[in-house]
Chain A
Amino acid sequence: MPASTGASRPAKKAAARKGALAAGAARASGERAKRRRTPLIAEPAESTEATDSAPAAEAAEPTPPVAEATAAAAATGRHTEAEVVDEEESAKAPRPEHRPRPVAKAVPTRKTVARSGTRAPKASRTRRPSPRTKASAERPVRALKAVPPVVELPETSSDEQGAPRGVPPRTSVTPGLEELLGAGIAAVRTAAEAAGVSPDDVERHLASLLAFVRRRLTGDFTVDDFGFDEDFTESFYLPVLRPLYRHWFRVEVRGIENIPATGGGLVVANHSGTVAMDSLMTQVAVHDEHPAHRHLRMLGADLVFQTPVMGTVARKSGSTLAANPDAERLLSSGELCGVWPEGFKGVGKPFSERYKLQRFGRGGFVSAALKTGVPIIPCSIVGAEEIYPILGNMKTVARLLGVPYAPITPTWPLLGPLGWIPLPSKWIIEFGAPVETADLGPGAADDPMLVFDLTDQVRETIQQTLYSLLMQRRSVFF
């Protein structure tokens, strides 16, 4: 733009005169960046143009748009361009007619600039049309050629591509949509009836799913300090796991009354199954079977939170890092926590060692419970060992991928992706009698011998319960 270079030259000279220190200062404060952003055309020039174009356009208004007066046509042309460029206004404005609205358009633009306050980027954005308006004013002939009323149409309609339908049937969009939806729902009902599922259930699910999608799109949900998103967990996460819980593993839950209805508690369980499916099922069990429908806040390994997608889903479903600060914070705020102290040693152990508990970490979970005075609830899970029996471990592959183990199961990697389907074993989850820690006092956490004793006590309880559950079950799959 020739006009802009001419205007910037004096500014540059002035800056050179200021001296090195001042230049440095200007650089430091980002003034140069600011100057680069501000439009170079002076304010008064812009405003006079707006005002003198206004009467011209007003004069043009009553006359039919046949472009008999060149000045009027140029004015209207200028306005249409300003209108297309001006983002904010076109977004807010109702559908423009074929003829652009002349005066009312230019004035609110000035207002929005004034309203935008001190925010530099916005001011520059709303003011950006001004050089272009001026440019179009400088070449009235081209503008005149470019805007006969017919060519104008696609230009104005181009910025309303967002509308789902065209311009004329806009008033009928909503009823059309409803009819369409009505037809869709009828189809869904018929399909559901044909499949032998209750159509009402299907519809209810569909409605809640759509409401969920709407909340996602508008950001209308809350997450707690740990990233737990209750809406996501209740509307998406648990419903996805539930078929697996009910129909695949047919989980049987015992001793759910051992979980307190309110206040903190620490569920400690055995870990197994190659993929940590047991923790997910325990989460569903606690939520679905407990009368208070409590959420089990799991403590996960840091590998979980490093992994894309998995880490996010874990956080959203209420997990947090298995570290004492987090555990104590959750427990002292009255949440129910779940911990699998065996960690990867438990999940990745070979099938020959099934139901043999590994070392229970360093007993960090016991000290967290002692410090916060919450009961420890031992939990024994039977059935998870058989979902992916580990026959071997590809150590080199594991090292290459940076994972703790790379399992070989009867179906993986032999059958490819089919190997990801877990075997449908029958599960039993038993919550044992809680071990109270409140009477020991918070100082007990500093007594390592007591911590080790309690850790062993919990471990022994779980091991014994596992043995008795194994004796009771009829077979692996039924």
Chain B
Amino acid sequence: MADVVLVTGVSRYLGGQFARALTKDPSISRVIGVDVIPPPHDIGRTEFVRADIRNPMIGKIIAQSEVDTVVHMNVIATPTHAGGRVSQKEINVIGTMQLLAACQKAPSIRRLVVKSSAAVYGSSPRDPAMFTEDMGPKSLPRAGFGKDSVEVEGYVRGFSRRRPDVEIAMLRFANIIGPGIRTSLTDYFTLPVVPVPLGFDARLQLVHESDAIGALLASTSGPSGITNIAGDGVITVTQAAALAGRPVVPVPLQAAGVFGGFIKRSGLADFSSDQMQFLAFGRGLDTTRMREHLGFEPSYTTRAAFEDFTRAIGPAVPGAPFVGSALSGLAGNAAHVIGGALAAAGRNR
């Protein structure tokens, strides 16, 4: 179906991986990768074009190479990767506007795939346990990446009104995790001590990076519409910290702003206010449509994806695994001894 595919954000980790996977499909004759810097990793037979999607020049590229499918992956979730929040917002919002304006002028476009995020659902105590695609947020994300995603989706909706002939697939990804990708969530769980909101233990739903690429591939030539992409099951924040072998320190939610700012300035991880909300209240996604409509089955559950990530990161502090195993060994020993004593008592009687 797709013949000439244009991928934006190809020099970022996920974009590059996706472009490379796309070139393995023989039915696609050309893959054009666009980004502002040359890709640092192998992108297969993708033709790299150095262009900024915030610049109208992108329209010329689309027209010249008669692109029929555009995969928009240049929506950046982590401000540190984009060079600050201002730059991140510019790339996300203005970049999407320019790209969609160029797509609207190009008659060759038949399909648009947008990598959106589950951040559009926000995170609040009044949320339903699982969001389906047609539910709106209970509290609109007011800042950061969530707000960008809402705006990006708004522009895509506008585009679909003006070009009804173009099929649009919008994928709302849960937090993507894996051994290779770096996001604010992976930075967070790489901290030697993980600060968690006091008295809250949110549910996290994750998707493995390979599944994210698989879902994008499936929707490049598959059905259109809005789809949630997430792994099965949930884990809680403290459970995740335990799996990563990190001790947790509870922080009152009111002090989280100060604390998050401190961590942000020290360059350890990126903590925006919406991230703190997310860590307090969590989010779950209903993936029925992913299975039935898109026909995609993720190969990693949430827990398996997180465990794959924890294998890639080391222990937090030297000796942490030793202390951990000593503690659990202590508990195990105690249980063992008690069991032995019980058996002895049973014999005596």
Contacts and interface: CB of A to CB of B under 8 A. Distances in A.
B2 interface: no
Contacts of A310: 199
A211 B328 CA distance: 9
Contact of B333 (A121, A163, A177): A177
Contacts of B303: 222
Interface string B113-132: 00000000000011111101
Interface string A89-133: 011000000000000000000000000111111100110000000
Interface string A296-331: 000000100111111110011000110101100100
A311 B129 contact: no
A307 B333 CA distance: 37
Contact of A217 (B83, B129, B281, B327): B327
B316 to A, nearest CB: 9
Interface string A171-198: 0001001100110010001000000000
Nearest to A161: B319
Contacts of B36: 24-25, 28-29
Interface string B187-215: 10010000001111101000000000000
Nearest to B253: A308
A26 interface: yes
Interface residues of A, number: 76
Contacts of A185: 337-338, 341
A122 B203 CA distance: 27
B326 A164 contact: yes
Contacts of B142: none
Interface string B306-349: 00000011110111111110111011111101110110011000
A227 B253 contact: no
Interface residues of B, number: 75
Contact of A227 (B203, B339, B346): B203
B174 interface: no
A87 B317 contact: yes
Contact of A203 (B81, B132, B284, B338): B338
Given A122-B312, A211-B335, A302 B129 contact: no
B305 to A, nearest CB: 14
Contacts of B333: 174, 177-178, 181
Contacts of A206: 334, 338
Contact of A207 (B13, B135, B198, B334): B334
Given A162-B326, A185-B337, A321-B128, A219 B319 contact: no
Contacts of B253: 308
A91 B315 contact: yes
B40 to A, nearest CB: 8
Rank and list the top 3 A-B pairs by shortest CB-CB distance, nearest first.
A308-B199, A219-B242, A162-B319
Given A33-B83, A189-B341, 12 more contacts: A25-B36, A29-B12, A87-B314, A87-B315, A116-B312, A159-B318, A164-B326, A207-B339, A219-B235, A227-B203, A302-B126, A315-B203
